[in-house]
Structure formats: C-alpha cells, structure tokens
Amino acid sequence: MRITKYNSMNDILAYPDMENYLRVFYSEYLLDMYPKEAYHLPLARMEQIGKTPWGEPFSIIVDQLIDAVNLILDLRENGTRRAISLWNESEDWSLKKDRKGEKESVFLLAPDNITEKVRKKRRPAVIICPGGGYCEVCFSGEGTPILNYMEAQGYAAFILKYRVSPAVYPAPQEDLSLAIRYVREHALEYGVDPDNILTLGASAGGHLCASQAALAKRVEDTPDKVCLCYPVISFTEEPHEGSAELLTGGDTSLREMLSAEKLVTESYPETFVWTCADDDCVPPSNAVRMGAALKKAHVRHELFVYPSGGHGCGLAFSKEAHDWSRAMVEFFKDQQ
C-alpha cells in the first residue's frame, strides 16, 4: 500500500493509529497546519492552499507528509522497514510504550527487505540523526527525505530516534553509540562495509554526531565519517541556548566539554560541514568554528557556507543550498 497526492487526509487518517504515528514520524506542529475543512480534498489540491507560516510553499510539507505516511506503511504493513528497540534488541519499538526521554523511546529505523544479492555487497551506511533542539526528533524534513535520498545514492540508510529532554547528557550519545555498534555488528546482514559508517546530523542532531565522533568511549562506537548540517557546535561561543540548556540540564560545567569544536584532534573522522549565512536560529559561526578546528587539526574536511537557506531546510532543493547533498556524497565517495 502506498499513499500519493491523489489521496486525501481523510484517507490517511482512516488507517488505525495513523495520527499518533504521524506525531512521531512527521510532526504534530505540521499536522495542525492542515485545515480540517479540507481533509476531504486530494493532497494535490490541498497543497495549493497557500504557504506555510514561514513562507514556504505548502507543497513542501505535503511532500514530507507523503514520505512520512509511506514510511509508516513500510514499517507497519509493507514489511520493508523495522524500528529496532536499541535498548532491547529482542523487541521492536512500540508506540504504546514510547515515553519521551526514556529508553523505550529509542529506536533505529532500519531496512527489513535485504535480499541475498544485497547482503553480498559492502555498501556504505549512514545513520541519520535529525534535529529538534534536544526537545524532539524531527523526522519530517531532516529524517525521511534524507533517508530516501541516501538510499538512492547506494547507502544502507538508518534513522536514529534518540532520547531528548527530559533526558540529558550522556543519554543521546549513548543511543548513538548503540546505533553505530548495532550497524557494525550486523554489517553482513545489511550488506554494509563496517569500516564505512557515516553519521549525518542536522542542527542539534549535528551536535550529537559532532560530539559523538570525539567522545565515543570505544572504537566500535566511533563513526568513520561525519556530515554536519547547519549544526549546533559550540555551547560557549554564540551557542544555540535551547540545545545547550536541554542537553546539559542546566549544568554549566558541561558546556566546555560539550563544545564540539574544542574536541577535534588529528584522529577525528573526515567531516563535511555546511550551513547557511542567513540562519537565524543556529548562528552560522558554529559551523565555521567547526571548520576552523578541523583545519587546525589537519582533518580532511569540507566546509560550505551557502548565501541563503535559513535553518532546518533539510535537502534544501528549493534553496541556494540545494547542492550540499550532491557535494557531500562526492566528498565521501572520493575516499571509498
């Protein structure tokens, strides 16, 4: 079963528990933007109703909705994806047991339709960590679309739903450690090269990936490559206060240790960093500081500061930053 633009919101919500699943795999905030009086209309018509509050065409969040619904159907009905409960691998994640900030909320979204032909390959893998300011994990723009894109580029792609507030450091880093270790330990099952694992994080998810690459306690929990999309980096210099406050739980003594630009050494994984000069949420100086730290440590890296695109633009296909995903794939391909 697949959803297209010819289906209506009523069609979507008729599926059992779909609205609750969408609050995890899409966004409660975005769901509330759809006018209930238009629920009977095909999505192709609904996307013409105007713009989002931040000025984007409504079609963008409709596309993200379709991606989210089809992801949920792949998970629940089509048998092509699985949500693995990382703190109890014998069970799959359960919506009924999901509690914000608790281990039961953590899962790794993984492919579940691997053929024998694919298992014989040694593909690169990517673990995607969407942003959300350590308050939520935003699948809508920084999770599912990037997952689909990376699969199209030949990656085995995963999304991590990590713990957020009220959980504090080191909970999210522990979750990412488990995810990296899981993919490595199951590399043969997924047709993955265990020495070619990329972590890709956006905004606060970028901070998670950037800090994990330096703070991982075991080699097997360390990524081979890192991609940081308009990342939160510093907790001391022009920080994103919301992310810093929620991850540290207000403990100011942790801010220095969790400023990722201060953690970079010559052993740091190769890294692709990008941001937008007009980002008014996370100061672009965060990405620039990370680039400077990587350069100083002689780590292979690339830094792009695009003229515009704002914050939270994901793949940014309608923005000046649209080329980042192609450039990132090419950057890492050079070393495969």
Does a structural domain hold residue 101? yes
58 and 190 in a single domain? The answer is no
Which carries the bigger pLDDT value, residue 89 or residue 84?
84
pLDDT above 80: residue 131:
yes
CA separation for the pair 132, 138 (Å, rounded): 6
DSSP letter assigned to residue 55: S
The answer to whether residues 311 and 276 touch, using CB atoms and an 8 Å cutoff, is yes
187 and 285 in a single domain? The answer is yes
Range of the domain at 329: 83-333
259 and 321 in a single domain? The answer is yes
Does a structural domain hold residue 119? yes
| Partner residues linked to 81 by β-bridges | 111
Does a structural domain hold residue 1? no
The whole-number pLDDT of residue 330 equals 98
- Of the three residues 27, 45, 71, the one that is the final residue of a domain is 71
Q: Other CB atoms closer than 10 Å to residue 297's CB: what's the count?
A: 14
- Encoded tokens for 179: 């995810």
Does a structural domain hold residue 55? yes
Phi/psi region, residue 308 (left: phi>0; alpha: psi -120 to 50; beta: rest), is beta
102 and 58 in a single domain? The answer is no
Report how far apart, in Å, the C-alpha atoms of 40 and of each of 13, 21, 48, 90, 273 are.
11, 20, 14, 41, 42
pLDDT above 80: residue 335:
no
Tokens 């090419």, located at residue = 330
Does a structural domain hold residue 3? no
201 and 63 in a single domain? The answer is no
50 and 158 in a single domain? The answer is no
CA separation for the pair 195, 14 (Å, rounded): 43
The answer to whether residues 110 and 80 touch, using CB atoms and an 8 Å cutoff, is no
Does a structural domain hold residue 200? yes
pLDDT above 80: residue 260:
yes
64 and 139 in a single domain? The answer is no
172 and 290 in a single domain? The answer is yes
Task: Look at strands 192-202 and 123-129 and give their pairing.
Answer: parallel
* Secondary structure class of 163 (helix, strand, coil): coil
| CATH (domain of 222) | 3.40.50.1820
List CB contacts of 130: < 8 A, sequence separation 6 or more.
137, 138, 139, 141, 142, 143, 159, 201, 202, 205
- Encoded tokens for 91: 């069970």
- Encoded tokens for 269: 């994984």
Lowest-pLDDT range, 45-59, 98-112, 150-164, 262-276?
45-59
- Of the three residues 30, 46, 71, the one that is the final residue of a domain is 71
65 and 134 in a single domain? The answer is no
pLDDT confidence bin for 244, thresholds 50/70/90: very high
pLDDT above 90: residue 22:
yes
The whole-number pLDDT of residue 114 equals 86
67 and 96 in a single domain? The answer is no
pLDDT confidence bin for 336, thresholds 50/70/90: low
Q: Tell me the average pLDDT of the chain.
A: 95
- Encoded tokens for 81: 């994806």
Sheet with 107-111, strands from edge to edge, namely 81-84, 107-111, 156-161, 123-129, 192-202, 225-229, 270-276, 301-306
Domain count, the chain: 2
247 and 301 in a single domain? The answer is yes
pLDDT tens digits for range 202-243: 999 999 999 999 999 888 899 999 999 999 999 999 999 999
pLDDT confidence bin for 90, thresholds 50/70/90: confident
Which carries the bigger pLDDT value, residue 1 or residue 213?
213
Burial bucket for residue 90 (CB in 10 Å: 0-12, 13-18, 19+): exposed
pLDDT confidence bin for 56, thresholds 50/70/90: confident
Tokens 């899981």, located at residue = 182
Does a structural domain hold residue 77? no
Task: Look at strands 156-161 and 107-111 and give their pairing.
Answer: antiparallel
Instruction: Give the whole-number percent of the chain exceeding pLDDT 70.
Output: 99
pLDDT tens digits for range 268-322: 999 999 999 999 999 999 999 999 999 999 999 999 999 999 999 999 998 999 9
* Secondary structure class of 246 (helix, strand, coil): helix
Strands, E, within 215-277: which ranges? Answer: 225-229, 270-276
The whole-number pLDDT of residue 301 equals 98
pLDDT tens digits for range 246-257: 999 999 999 999
The answer to whether residues 26 and 66 touch, using CB atoms and an 8 Å cutoff, is no
The whole-number pLDDT of residue 170 equals 97
Among the listed residues 199, 193, 206, 323, the one whose alpha carbon sits nearest the alpha carbon of residue 270: 199
237 and 168 in a single domain? The answer is yes
- Of the three residues 49, 71, 93, the one that is the final residue of a domain is 71
Does a structural domain hold residue 176? yes
pLDDT tens digits for range 168-188: 999 999 999 999 999 999 999
